[in-house]
């Protein structure tokens, strides 16, 4: 198992954001506006296997490949486990287990928004 950063804790999925360029343009990473057909595609992909674990109260693959989140001021961004975090949000899972590292400044929300090509 690789060395992980941060402290293990339960994190509310509604506080997880996706600030990568992909996250800004991918409708699958925006759980509030996701189209039901896109959700079906995601749930039937390899990510869909995560749902079984989540419905049993287990965060998938925490021993082999833990989810790692960066946190600043109550906001969280995936460093490892983007697909599992995304699926948990879309499926309405309230909390997940993740290793959380605190940031001393916000380095994620300063990335360009959808459509911005700075």
Alpha-carbon distances of 96 from 2, 15, 107, rounded to whole Å: 20, 11, 23
Residue range 65-109, pLDDT digits in tens: 899 999 999 999 898 998 899 888 888 899 999 999 999 988 777
113 domain-assigned? no
55 domain-assigned? yes
Alpha-carbon span 115 to 30, nearest angstrom: 15
Boundaries of domain holding 32: 7-102
For residues 104 and 73, the answer to whether their CB atoms sit within 8 Å is: no
Burial of 86 (C-beta count, 10 Å sphere; 0-12/13-18/19+): buried
111 domain-assigned? no
Alpha-carbon span 53 to 81, nearest angstrom: 14
58 domain-assigned? yes
Domain count, the chain: 1
109 domain-assigned? no
114 domain-assigned? no
Given this model, what pLDDT does residue 86 score? Answer: 84
Alpha-carbon distances of 61 from 24, 25, 65, 74, rounded to whole Å: 26, 27, 6, 25
- Classify 107 as helix, strand or coil: coil
Domain containing 35 — which CATH number?
Answer: 3.90.1530
> pLDDT-derived band of residue 39, with 50, 70 and 90 as boundaries?
confident
Burial of 54 (C-beta count, 10 Å sphere; 0-12/13-18/19+): buried
- State pTM to two decimals: 0.76
44 domain-assigned? yes
14 domain-assigned? yes
């Amino acid at each position: 198992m690789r060395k992980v950063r941060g402290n293990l804790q339960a994190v509310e999925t509604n506080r997880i954001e996706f600030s990568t360029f992909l996250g800004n343009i991918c409708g699958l990473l925006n759980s509030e506006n996701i189209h039901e057909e896109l959700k079906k595609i995601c749930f039937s992909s390899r990510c869909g296997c995560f749902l079984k674990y989540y419905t049993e109260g287990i965060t998938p693959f925490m021993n082999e490949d833990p989810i790692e989140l960066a946190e600043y001021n109550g906001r969280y961004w995936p460093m490892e486990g983007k697909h599992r975090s995304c699926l948990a949000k879309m499926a309405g899972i309230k909390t997940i287990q993740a290793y959380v590292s605190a940031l001393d400044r916000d380095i994620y929300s300063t990335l360009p928004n959808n459509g911005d090509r700075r």
